[in-house]
Structure 1
Amino acid sequence: MFRNYLKVGLRNILKYKAFSFINVFGLAVAMSVCMLVILMLADQHRYDQFHSKKDRIYRILTDSEDFRQAYATSPFPLAEVLRTEYPAVEQSTHLMPGVGGDVEYGQKLLEMRGYFAEKQFFEVFDFDLQKGNKISALSAPNSIVLSSELAANLFGQEDALGKVVSFADRQLPFPLDHGSGGAAPVEWGNFTVTGVIADEPYRSHIHFDVLMSMATRQRLYTESKLENLTDNWEHYWQNYTYVVMDESGTEADLQAGLQSLGVRMYKNMEDEGKRNIIFKGQPMADIAMGLENNDTNYRLPAFGYYFLGLLSLVVLVCACLNYMNLSIARATTRAREIGVRKTNGAHRGNLVFQFLSESVLMSLLSLAFAWLILILFLKPAFMNLWLNQHFSFDFPTGWGIYLIFVGFALAIGIVAGLYPAFVMASYQPVKVLKANATAGRGKMGLRKVLGVSQFVVSLLFIVTSILIFRQFKHYINFEYGFATENIVNIELQGVDDELVRTALSSVPGVTSISACDIIPAGGTNNNFTLRKLGSEDEYTQFGSLRTDEHFIETLDIKLIAGKPLPPHGQGTDKHILVNEAAVRVMGFEHPADMVGQLYETEWGNTLEVAGVVKDFQFKILVNEDKISPLAMRSDLEQYGFLNVKLSSDDLMGTVEVLKAKWESVDPVHPFKYRFFDEQLAATHQAIFDIVSILGFIAFLSVLIACLGLLGMATYSVERRTKEVGIRKVMGAPELAIALLLSKELLLMLIISVGIAAPASYFLNNLWLQYLPNRVEFGFGTVFIGSGILLLLGLLTIGSQTLRASRTNPVEALRME
């Protein structure tokens, strides 16, 4: 029987080629998007699976009702307390960032970044050593364990074990890169390589070049090179704590112990803001998709998967609705077949199974095409997204994932074919054999609802894509209030800024050079607080930029009162420049009134306002709408970048000369630079990726809806072929016939726009209100989206109705 169903299914697919192509292609496109999301989820599921104790490992989070999101970090003393005071905890360990600088061996100097770790690290995690002893590798001071990649780059073919290297700390940002150029190098001394991590493709949320023994910190404390956090419970953002639960312990035991510990340690804190702090255990399995504040790397959070999953599900539902719609429409052409089968004794269940088998067969054919679309187009496009350089997806392959895809296709075939199967199997043989045309009557209402639903979704996607693209263009063309064109930001990498400045100033085409600690509007923000000298008022928070006296000249920032920062050595560290927002916040009517005012910081420094500059956007656009107070001050030890302004017809040629000058000053560190305008544009590449994804989904949604419309138009034309022939013989004009055939479908389009236009305006306004520096959103954008949808719909319908209206009536009547 199954063999018979298979034969009938194949025959029907080949017989109705147009309908089969529309269904297979529509399902294949939708399934390919869903398969991409499945691959993403499968990739995340591989994270941290190599640890033998993975089901008992928890990361401790720090949370509070005052936090917008929990912190992945926790206080340094927590691990020791959990290890010694809680029997349910089998083992615990620290991972503490703070190793970021230059490692030197012989004539080689490389950057390395990593964690301070203790010997318990290898008791919790199963990172294997290809060289060294896990028990003693991180026990002694001045011991380091290197990644196999760093060891190979540093030592080549030499045996790394036992080698002595020197390390200079530059405070490079780690584990997340905040765009900071680091600080001037501070020598930490010599270190012995006691281990090399095995060269295995570990999929872990923990990445590092080096593990430095925690015992090293004691020496660095005494040399005042690190802050001692050994007994500090208030500092919770610079340490990761992991525990392994005893086999008899449960997650509930851990959570209860953490809650009581949090209450005990923080209920009597002097700082009221910390009295609500609690600790929570995060299972290892949840870390990959549970992105928290201060996490160990950039990952797509669970919300991102929900978002992508919802989008792919919407497209898939549209494709399934398409299948249902066209299957029900085609039911009239198969009514006689159903009647004959029922007359010959076929039960309703037999017919349902037959139509479901055809649907599953169609779905499996779609799966083959979906796989080709995924491999040839979708996966390469996704891998080339800017976001993926941070997420590092590596899609898995293997029999397991193929079985998931087959199961997914079977489920789609059943879901898409279930309703049409029951509808067609319910036909009464007496009625359908009497008049084939009556079998499908009464179903047009349902088909209209399905078709309208598809176009409503399509218009929502189109309008949202246009709006987000407009927002992206708004950010790209935003007037920051300072110059960015022809300015090159050079990362100092700890090199003395005066040496580099002197070398670069002699390059032809260089008109101005300044220094700063962070790039304005580049995504990194620093803050400090000020209040009027001698006042008892609350401190006011200011944004902070460490700059020199040439900064406002290089960036063409207008000075509206007072004077610039004085040159180095002339009391520079005692003066600040503030913006107009600071004048308003501090209660002055005119900028000149604030010049000369004295302010004090929380740590007791006195600062005098030297001048006031015009407001400019110094924070990333998606973080701030209204410009907040800013203070600029000089600090030679904090500069991370030089801003070099060029006036040359050959910018890249000038950059090559700058590179040569850099290498004459520092032949070790590579020349790292970015054009300022390109750097700011890159901060919004994530938005462009969202535009690309939504635009692609909108395209697929419209494509599937138009395919469905094409199928309905084709069916309508085929069903009324005789009528068209008679009307043409009676003298009806082609345009009138085309309008007659298009009337029902055009009405569907108009109803779709009538529903989706106000809905898209309302829904997009909801999220837009929460976005800083947003574009104006009116019905113009909705009108453009509606026009695109109507145009595509008209072209789709017209391709069939105009062709039918021009058909020779003799041919039309001969077909009947």
Structure 2
Amino acid sequence: MFKNYLNIAFRNLARHKVYSLINIAGLSIGLACSMLIILYVKDEVSYDQFHSNVNHIYRIVSRNERNGEERYNSNTGHLQGPRFKQNVPGLETFVRVQSGMEDVKLGNEIQSQSLLFVDSSFFSVFSFPLVEGNPKTCLTEPHSIVLSEDEAKKQFGNTSALGKTVMVKEDSTFVPYKVTAVSERCPQNSSIKFDVLLPFRSNEADAANNDNWYSYFLNTFVTVNPGSNVEAVEKQIQKFYIKDASATFTALNLKYGGPPDAKMETYFLQPFTDMHLNTQLPAQNGLSNQSNPVYSYILSGIALFILLIACINFVNLTVARSVKRAKEIGIRKVVGGDRRQLITQFLGESFVLCFLAFVMAIVLAIIVLPVFNDLANKKLAFSYLADARLVVGYIALFAVTSLLAGFYPALVLSGYKPVETLYSKFTLRGKNYLQKSLVVLQFALASFLIIATFTVYSQFDFLTHTDLGYDNTNIVKLQVNNLSHQKAALFKSELLKNANIVDAAAKNGGSWFTGAKIANDSSIQFAYETIDEHYLPMLKIPIVQGRNFSKDYPSDSISSILVNEAFVKKAGWKNPIGETVNFFYNNNEIYRVIGVVKDYHYAALNDTKIEPQVFTMKNSNDYGQVEVKIKPHTATEALKFLQSTFRQFFPMSPYQYVFKDEEYLKSYEAEEKWKQIILFGAVLTIFISCIGLFGLSVLSAEKRTKEIGIRKVLGASVQSIVTALSKDFLILVLIALIIAVPFAWIATNKWLEKYPYRISLSWELFAASGLMVICVALFTISFQSVKAAMSNPVKSLRTE
């Protein structure tokens, strides 16, 4: 009997090629998307699970309340690890992990190398296997260095790196470091990734200075004894911290003008595996690949939408085609077939079709995987399928899909009455509300994703094309650490001798933030920039009041500052020129405001709003970068000159450059990726919905063949027939739009809330999305409707 069911299933597939292709294509796309998303989610939840002691590894973190808002801090300093380990029972060991950059000499070339400074217990806590070396002793000596196998190959080729030396810059000279170990490549799903490890640098003065309780610049990890209660350990940590640091906290709070009701933070332990998907205490400050669980939710939602729409197509097309199988069902019932056998047959056909779709989905997923990796910024491999739980998951996905897609049609088909089917009196009774509801559901989902796509594209366009308040075109940034004002002036003077160099200006490296007091003794926090007199004019940032820095005024490099409009507003000044700012913690240095800078977006628009900003030309503040304006279309010649001049002035520093506008656009890489992912999801969703709609329109036209012939004989035009055939489907699409719009409005508004600067949702955006959905649906329906309307009425009237 099973063989007979199988033969019938394949015979039906071969006889109805169009419908079979639509069902298999839709299901395979939906299943392929689901497979890829399962791979993605599996990778996300597997982060850092490879460490043998992972259930006992925690990160020391803290929380504090300021102005009624709870804030979290994942950074610690010199003291937390060693003092908690020494004074809190239950802590087995600790390791501090600090990110850094060091100049490394490779032959005659000098390169800036990102690396990690770690304690000697690093390989005791974390399970990173070594190719060469002893994990217990490889980081005990101050001038030892551990390389990854990739870095070792880059430095020494295929020869053994163990015992060889690497020249690392300390202060102004290169010092030999001995390679004491070579590590295997870090796993892709690791929050800690490294190519170079150096011993953590600390001295007795750092360890004895209680002020270092409040110097946060690294991650501290601890292992808890297997028999210890974590909550009890956390209480002991907090108890010791209050005892050891309360006097220091009070003194520092008084010194730096903190609020009188300031409270000490509360320390607690964060599970190591919690970092990757934690939004309050993410993997950062030397740790990599922090993520957000919302990404998994969004991708899973898209995959579910696509799979659900594919299943809806299957149900709709199977039920709609059921009229053509009515006689077969009637004969089976007359010769003794019961309903249970018919349900088994049709479910079997569903499983056969889903199996074919499943095989095609695997092939499709393998083909598309490289593109998906690029979109999701992953390095997923289909070898992940070897995981037993994942295989079970895919089998469950196959079974659920087969049942979901085939169960309802099997119930409907097995319920036909043999008398009606054999005398050709059978029709689908009622108004077919379920089929219509399913069409509405799938187009509501498609409309939702189309609106989301329009929103994401609009926000991305807004982020990348909004006027920043300055000109960042044709500007090359050169990193020069600890650059004195005198050396900067000489370097810029030499650069300006080249005809391709328009201007040059110096600025501090990185981002500086600090605070000070104003005349009414209130404190104000601000971004702190050290610049020269050419910086603002070169970027075309206007001075709205007062003047810019000038070499004609010696006091400008001693006691003058510029502030931005946001600072003036926060300070409540009406006449800012001449006002003073007191850096009270630095021997009460007083600076006088000489000008007000127009607000500009010094940070990316997805980062923060424009905050108070102070500019200084103070001689004792070193610069960290030089920005060079070059003539358009001269990049090749200008960069060659920049490199030769840089090496002439800074032979001991690595030459690194980046174009300022390109660096800015990199701030929106995440938005760019999600723009593409949402687009692909929307395209697939609308595609599957439309092929299902196409199949239903074909069946509708076939059922109404005689009606179309009569209409044409009575003089109906092609347009009126197309309208009659399309009207019902278009009404369903319009209902779907009405349902989708409010949900899309709520979801997109929620998504936009995370941006400091964002678009306003307008009716035009929703109208454009709706018009697109209607046009695509109309094109899909009208294709078959026009074909049916233009057919010869003589043939249609002879159908019976």
Query: What's the TM-score once normalised by structure 2's chain length?
Result: 0.89
1:574 to 559, 575, 580: 559
Q: Cα gap change, 1:288/1:3 in structure 2, threshold over 3 Å: closer, same or farther?
A: farther
SS of corresponding position for 2:406: helix
Q: Is the 8 A contact 2:97 2:119 kept in 1?
A: no
Task: Give 1:451 deviation, angstroms.
Answer: 0.6
* Aligned 8 A contact 2:112 2:654 in 1: no
Residue of structure 2 in register with 1:528 after alignment: 514
Q: CA 1:69 to 1:39, structure 2 compared with 1: closer, same or farther past 3 Å?
A: farther
Shift of 1:478: 1.0
What is the alpha-carbon distance in structure 1 between the residues aligned to residue 658 and residue 207 of structure 2?
33
Q: 2:592 aligns with which of 608, 632, 643?
A: 608
Residue in 2 aligned with 1:460? 448
Task: Indicate yes or no: 2:372 matched with 1:382.
Answer: yes
> Following the alignment from structure 2 to structure 1, what is the Cα–Cα distance between the partners of residues 605 and 143?
43
- Structure 1 stretch displaced more, 201-210 or 453-462: 201-210
Aligned pair in 2 of structure 1 residues 50, 759: CA closer, same or farther (>3 Å)? Answer: closer
Counterpart position of 2:675: 691
Output the aligned Cα RMSD.
3.1
Indicate whether 1:280 and 2:273 are aligned. Answer: no
Verify the 8 A CA contact 1:79 1:243 in the aligned structure 2: no
1:785 aligns with 769
1:332 to 2:323 alignment: yes
Over 3 Å counting, the alpha-carbon distance change for 1:574 and 1:155 in structure 2 is farther
Cα distance in structure 2, aligned partners of 1:711 and 1:684: 41
CA distance 1:764–1:161, change in 2 (3 Å):
closer
The gaps in structure 1 that reach 5 residues or longer are 170-184, 519-523
Structure 1 residue corresponding to 2:478, chosen from 483, 486, 490: 490
Shift in alpha-carbon separation, 1:686–1:507, aligned structure 2, 3 A: same
In the alignment, which residue of structure 2 is the partner of 1:647?
A: 631
**Residue number in structure 2 paired with 1:353:** 344
Q: Any idea what the Cα deviations from partners look like across 1:129-160, whole Å, max 9, x if unmatched? A: 33322222222333332223333333446653
In structure 2, distance between residues paired with 1:199 and 1:767: 37
| Distance change >3 Å, CA 68–CA 806, structure 1 → 2 | farther
Per the alignment, residue 118 of structure 1 pairs with: 119
Name the structure 2 match of 1:408.
Answer: 397
Partner of 2:22: 22
Answer with 69-78 or 148-157: which moved more. Answer: 69-78
**Alignment CA distance shift 1:7-1:666 (3 Å):** farther
**Displacement, 1:802?**
0.9
Equivalent residue in structure 2 for 1:595, among 578, 585, 590: 578
Name the SS for the 2:782 alignment partner.
helix
* Deviations 1:280-322, CA, capped at 9 Å, x for gaps: 33154x4444463452112332221122111211221122122
Query: Counterpart of 2:196?
Result: 210
Q: 1:190 Cα shift?
A: 4.9
SS of 2:476's partner is strand
Aligned to 1:724: 708
SS of residue matched to 1:127: coil
Shifted more, 719-728 versus 189-198: the winner is: 189-198
Report the CA distance shift for 1:230/1:23 in structure 2 as closer, same or farther (over 3 A). farther
Contact 1:32 1:374 in 2 (8 A): yes
CA contact (8 A) 1:102 1:112 kept: yes
SS at match of 1:628: coil
Cα offsets for 1:109-140 (capped at 9, x unmatched) = 44333333333222222223333222222223
What displacement does 1:672 show? 2.7
Classify the secondary structure of the residue corresponding to 1:492.
strand
Unaligned runs of 5+ in 2: 254-260
Distance 2:209 2:440 in 1: 63
Q: What secondary structure does 2:773 align onto?
A: helix
3-state SS in 1 of match to 2:614: strand
Deviates more, 1:757-766 or 1:328-337: 757-766
Q: State the Cα distance separating 1:714 from its structure 2 match.
A: 0.7
Q: Tell me the residue number matched to 2:178.
A: 192
Letter of the 2:29 counterpart: V
Counterpart secondary structure, 1:624: coil
State the alpha-carbon separation in 2 of the partners of residues 315 and 795 from structure 1. Answer: 21
- Deviation of 1:790 (Å): 0.9
Moved more, 742-751 or 765-774: 765-774
The farther-off stretch of 740-749 and 428-437 is: 428-437
Shift of 1:811: 2.1
The whole-number CA distance in structure 2 between the counterparts of 1:501 and 1:241 is 45
Query: Which amino acid is 1:479 matched to?
Result: D
Aligned pair in 2 of structure 1 residues 55, 424: CA closer, same or farther (>3 Å)? Answer: farther
Distance 1:193 1:229 in 2: 32
Distance change >3 Å, CA 538–CA 228, structure 1 → 2: farther
Following TM superposition, by how much is the alpha carbon of 1:479 offset from its aligned partner in structure 2, in angstroms?
1.0
Match of 1:151 in 2: 152
Is 1:516 the equivalent of 2:500? no
Moved more, 363-372 or 758-767: 758-767
1:755 is aligned to 739
Choose the corresponding residue for 1:302, options 285, 293, 300: 293
Is contact 2:79-2:207 (8 Å) kept? no
Distance 1:501 1:120 in 2: 46
Matched residue, 2:694? 710
Shift of 1:689: 1.9
User: How far, CA to CA, are the matches of 1:474 and 1:788 in structure 2?
Assistant: 22
Question: How far did residue 71 of structure 1 move?
Answer: 4.1
User: Residues of 2 paired with 1:762 and 1:50: CA distance?
Assistant: 39
8 A Cα contact 1:42 1:395, kept in partner = no
| Structure 2: distance between partners of 1:671 and 1:113 | 15
Match of 1:444 in 2: 432
C-alpha spacing 1:772/1:692, structure 2 compared with 1 (3 Å): same
Q: Note the 1:758-777 alignment, pairs <5 A.
A: 758-777=742-761
In 1, the alpha carbon distance for the partners of 2:478 and 2:320 equals 65
TM-fit CA distance, 1:452: 1.0
Residue identity opposite 1:575 in structure 2: S
Which range moved further: 109-118 or 799-808?
109-118
| 2:772 alignment partner AA | I
How far apart, CA to CA, are the structure 2 residues paired with 1:663 and 1:698?
A: 51
Displacement after TM superposition at 1:716 (Å): 0.3
Deviations 1:301-360 (A, max 9, x none): 222112211121122112212222222222222232223223333333322222222222
* Letter of the structure 1 residue corresponding to residue 349 of structure 2: E
Task: Quote the sequence identity (%).
Answer: 29
Are the counterparts in 2 of residues 724 and 737 from structure 1 also a CA contact under 8 Å?
yes
Query: Partner of 1:745 in structure 2?
Result: 729
- Could you say which residue in structure 2 is the equivalent of 1:242? 222
Alignment deviations for residues 725-765 of structure 1 (CA, whole Å, 9 cap, x no partner): 23323333222222222221122122223333444345433
| Kept in 1: contact 2:105–2:166 (CA 8 A) | yes
SS in 2 for 1:795: helix
| 1:35-88 Cα deviation digits (max 9, x unpaired) | 211222333455445433334433444344667675444455444456556665
Match of 1:172 in 2: none
| Aligned residue number for residue 257 of structure 2 | none
8 Å Cα contact 1:22/1:708 also seen in 2: yes
Matched-pair contact (CA < 8 Å) for 2:725–2:785:
yes
In the alignment, the residues of structure 2 paired with residue 476 and residue 582 of structure 1 have an alpha-carbon distance, to the nearest angstrom, of 26
Cα pair distance change 1:140/1:680, threshold 3 Å:
closer
Corresponding residue SS for 2:193: coil
- Quote the offset at 1:256 in angstroms: 3.2
Distance 2:737 2:641 in 1: 58
SS of residue paired to 1:446: helix
Pairwise CA distance, 1:428: 3.5
SS of equivalent residue, structure 1 residue 490: strand
Q: Give the 5 Å matches for 1:649-664.
A: 649-664=633-648
Secondary structure of the 2:202 match is helix
The match for 1:136 is: 137
Aligned residues: 774
Amino acid across the alignment from 1:693: I
Matched, 1:472 2:460: yes
